Structure 1
Amino acid sequence: MVSVLSLQGANAERARSHNRRLVMGHVHAGGQMGRAQIARASGLSTQAVSNIIAELQADGLIRQTGRLGNGRGHPPVQYAIDPEGAYALGIEVRPTALLIALLNLEGTAVFTRRAALERADPGTVLGTIARLRAEIAARHARSGDRTLGAGVVMPGPFGVTGLSGAESDLPGWQQLDPRAVFAEALDLPIEFDNDANAAAMAERVTGAAQGLQTYAYLYFGTGLGLGLVSAGQRVAGAFGNAGEIGHLSIATPEGPERLENLASRLSIEHHLADAGLQAGSVEALEALQGHPAVTHWLDRAAPALAQAVHVVENLFDPETVFLGGAMPAPVLDALIARIDLPAASVSNRPDRTRPRLARGSCGRLTATLGAAALILDRAFTPRVGTF
C-alpha cells in the first residue's frame, strides 16, 4: 500500500486523516500488531505511527492487548481495534419495510430491527428511522457520539428515468437527492448506494464472496437487483443505476416479459396470492416449501434467471454469480438446482474452481449489514487522492 507521505499536494489535515485510516486498516487486518510492524506494513515512520497510535488510543478506537514475547529484548506492545470504540449504522429501505443495524468496529451486529412500512415515502421513512434510532440510543447509549456514519441503501433506479413507475419503486423519492435527504435528517456522514451493491459487498466481507475480486450478486429485495463488484470495487454507473436487471426483457413462451415479473419477491407473492395463499414474509414463504404453487413459480422463474445470468456472464465475465437476499435459503437452492446455464458462455471454462452460480451466505439482512459495512470500509481504507 502506498504511503501518503509519497503523495504531492496533500494538505496536512487530509494527510493526517489518510494516515489514521492507513494505521487502522493494518491493525484491523492484522488482528493485533506492534508499532514497528505497523510502520513496516504502512511505509510510515515509527515516530509517525507512534503519534497516530496515541491519537487513536485517546479516541478509544484501539487498545493495548499486552506484549508479544519473542525471547529476547523488550517485548513490543501490541495494539488491536477496540470493538466498542465506534459504531456504524446500516439502513435499508424497501417498499414495505425498513431494516436497520448497528455494527461495532469488528463488524458484529449489536442491534438489528425490522419495521413494517405502510408506505415508503420520505416522511414515513425518516419518521421510522428517528424512532428506531431512539431505541438504539436507549439500548446502546455509548453509540450516541461514537457512530462513524450511516450507510443507506434502497432499490433503484435513482432519479426520474425511463424505468420509473414499477411496483418496486419507492414513492416520492425520484425527484429528491436521497443522499442529501439522509445526511440532513441523520446528521451523520453518509454512504449511499443501491441495495444490491451493498449486499454484494457484505458477501465479500463476511460471506460467500470472500477472496473474490470480480463477481455479480442477484439480490432479491422486493424486486430484483444486480450488485456488481469489479477488482474489489462497487460498480455504480454514471447516475448510480448500474445493475437494474429486474427490468431486463426476458423471452417466454407467452412473449417478452420483464424479469422482475417472473423472478422476485413481488412475483412469488403475486403468484401465491393468485392461488389463494399469503406469503408476505420470509417465514411464511419458507413454510410453503413443497406447495404446488411454489413449485410452479420455481419452474417459471428458473428459465428467466438462466437468461439473466447468461447475459451477466457474457457482459461482465464474473468469477461467480451469487443469488441472495430476502428469499428463504431453500427457495434459492431450489432455483439454483433448476437453472440450466447455457454452455455458450465465457464463464463455461474447464479451469473453473468455483461454480458459475451459487447462493450467498449472509441471509436476509445482507444489504442492511452491507450498508453499515460501507462505513467500516471507509474507516479502514484510505483512498488515494480523496483521503
Structure 2
Amino acid sequence: MMITNPRRIVGSNAERTRLHNRQVVLGHVREKQPIGRAEIARISGLSTQAVSNIIAELEEDGLLLEAGRQSGGRGLPALQYRLNGDGAAALGIEVRPDAMFGALVNLEGETLFTTREALAGNSPATVAAVARKIRGEALAARLMSDQRILGAGVVMPGPFGNVGISGAGQSALQGWEDTNATALFEDALHMAVIVENDATAAAVAERVRGVASDLRTFCFIYFGAGLGLGVVADGEVQRGTFGNAGEIGHVVMTPGGRQCACGNKGCLETYASRIAAQAELAKAGIEVGSASDIERLYQERNPELMAWLDVAAGPLSQAIGMIENLFDPETVILGGAMPDAVLDHLISILTLPGGSVAVRPDRKTPRVLRGASGRLTAALGGAALVIHDTITPRITAKT
C-alpha cells in the first residue's frame, strides 16, 4: 500500500549513547517513581555523576519533577524524582477508509484531547489536509499549556508496500501505493512521525492503559473496517519484516467460502468484521455508516445483526484457537471500532476449540477479553508509541 521508513537498530555514536542514557533514566523513573539518583545509578550501571547530569537535563526539559526526599539512614535524605506527566505530550492519529481519529496524550498516558473527522475520500492529499486540521485542534485544546509535543504516531490499515493483498476491498486506503507515508505526515504535521499498523498500535494502547497493562504476552484482534492482529511477546511488539505481521483478516478460515476482495475465498474478514456486518445488513436494506449505527441496532436486537453475530462467532472462534497455538498468549483481546456491547455479546457466544495450548488447569486470565480503550484504541496507541520511543532504550546498554 504505502511506503514507510523501516525501524532499525543503529550504531552507538556519542549522540545516540546520550539519547539512550536519557531513555534508561526515564524508563527507571517511570517504573519505580518516586526514585532517587543513587538507586537509578545502581540499577542502570551508570555513574552517579552521569545520572545527576541526565536528571538535570531532563528537569530543564520539563520531563522530570522533584518528588520530595526519602531518608535512607545517615546523612541528608535523598531527593526523589518522578515523571512530569504535563511536561510533554504526543499526538496520535488513526486513518480509516472513511474517517480519521485524533488523540493528544500526556507523558503518563492520560488522554488530553480526542476528535473524529469524517473523510469524503482517503487519497494522500485529503488525508494530509485532515491531519493538519487535527493537529491544529489538538494544539488549540492545550490552551496556554507549555507542554512539549514529542511527535505524532500515525496508524493506518495495512498492508504496507505493494503486496498481494494491497488495495483489497473497503478496508484498504486507495492511491497510496507509491506514497512515502512518513514523509507525507512529517510535512503535514511539522513534527517527527512514526507510521504504524493500526492493530499493532491498538495493542500498545491496551498495554499502556488498558486490560493488558499487567500482561507481557498477548494478542489483540482489532476491528477497524476489516480485521488486524497486534502481537506483543514478552513486552515487545512483533512487526514482521515490512511491518505487515498480523494480517489476520485475510487468513482463510472457511475454504471455498465467501469471495474476498483480496482474491481468496473464505477469509476471516468476510465473516467477522465491520464490513462483513455492513454487507449482511445491506441485504436487508439496512445501511450502516458507523459503530453508533451498529450499537443502535444491537440495542434494538435487530434480527439481521443478531444473525450476523451468530455466523461470525464460528470463524472467529477458529481464528482465536489458531492464534493461541501460534503465539501462546496470556489472552486474546478484542477491540476497536465495534461497540463494547457487541464485542461482549460476541465473546459470550464464541465456541473456542478445546485443542489449544490455552486450555490449562492453572489458567487465571480468561482466554478472550474485551479491550478497554474503545473506538479510539488505535489513535491512543499511536500517541503511546511516541511516548514509548521517548522512554524506552533503543540500543543495547553498555555493561
The structure-2 alpha-carbon separation of the partners of 1:386 and 1:122, relative to structure 1 and needing over 3 Å to count, comes to farther
| Count of aligned positions | 379
* Counterpart in the other structure of 1:21: 23
* Counterpart in the other structure of 2:161: 159
- The answer to whether the 8 A contact 1:63-1:81 is kept is yes
* TM-score normalised by length of structure 2: 0.89
* Counterpart in the other structure of 1:150: 152
Shift of 1:332: 0.7
Q: Which residue of the other structure, out of 211, 221, 228, is the alignment partner of 2:231?
A: 228
Q: Which residue of the other structure, out of 264, 289, 292, is the alignment partner of 1:283?
A: 292
State yes or no: 1:264 paired with 2:273.
Answer: yes
* Counterpart in the other structure of 1:370: 381
1:261-316 Cα distance to aligned partner (Å, 9 max, x none): 11111111222232233332222221212221111010110001012112212222
- The one-letter amino acid of 2:160's match is F
Q: Residue 99 of structure 1 aligns to a residue in which SS? A: strand
* Counterpart in the other structure of 1:30: 32
- The answer to whether the 8 A contact 1:137-1:143 is kept is no
Q: Distance in 2 between matches of 1:177 and 1:79?
A: 40
Q: Distance in 1 between matches of 2:391 and 2:257?
A: 51
* Counterpart in the other structure of 2:5: none
Q: Distance in 2 between matches of 1:16 and 1:201?
A: 26
Q: Residue 249 of structure 1 aligns to a residue in which SS? A: coil
- The one-letter amino acid of 1:125's match is V
Q: Which residue of the other structure, out of 196, 201, 204, is the alignment partner of 2:199?
A: 196
- The one-letter amino acid of 1:151's match is G
Q: Distance in 2 between matches of 1:159 and 1:143?
A: 39
Q: How does 1:1-387 map to 2 (within 5 A)?
A: 10-69=12-71, 73-140=75-142, 146-164=148-166, 165-251=168-254, 256-289=265-298, 290-385=301-396
Q: Distance in 2 between matches of 1:321 and 1:304?
A: 15
Q: Residue 34 of structure 2 aligns to a residue in which SS? A: coil
- Comparing 341-350 and 273-282, the one that deviates more: 273-282
Shift of 1:76: 1.8
- The answer to whether the 8 A contact 1:218-1:321 is kept is yes
- The answer to whether the 8 A contact 1:137-1:144 is kept is no
Q: Distance in 2 between matches of 1:386 and 1:187?
A: 31
- The answer to whether the 8 A contact 1:325-1:364 is kept is yes
Q: Residue 198 of structure 1 aligns to a residue in which SS? A: helix
Q: Distance in 2 between matches of 1:269 and 1:42?
A: 52
Q: Distance in 2 between matches of 1:146 and 1:234?
A: 26
Structure 2 gaps, min length 5: 1-10, 259-264
Q: Residue 218 of structure 1 aligns to a residue in which SS? A: strand
Q: Residue 35 of structure 2 aligns to a residue in which SS? A: coil
- The one-letter amino acid of 2:151's match is G
- The one-letter amino acid of 2:50's match is A
Q: Distance in 2 between matches of 1:144 and 1:240?
A: 34
- The one-letter amino acid of 1:159's match is G
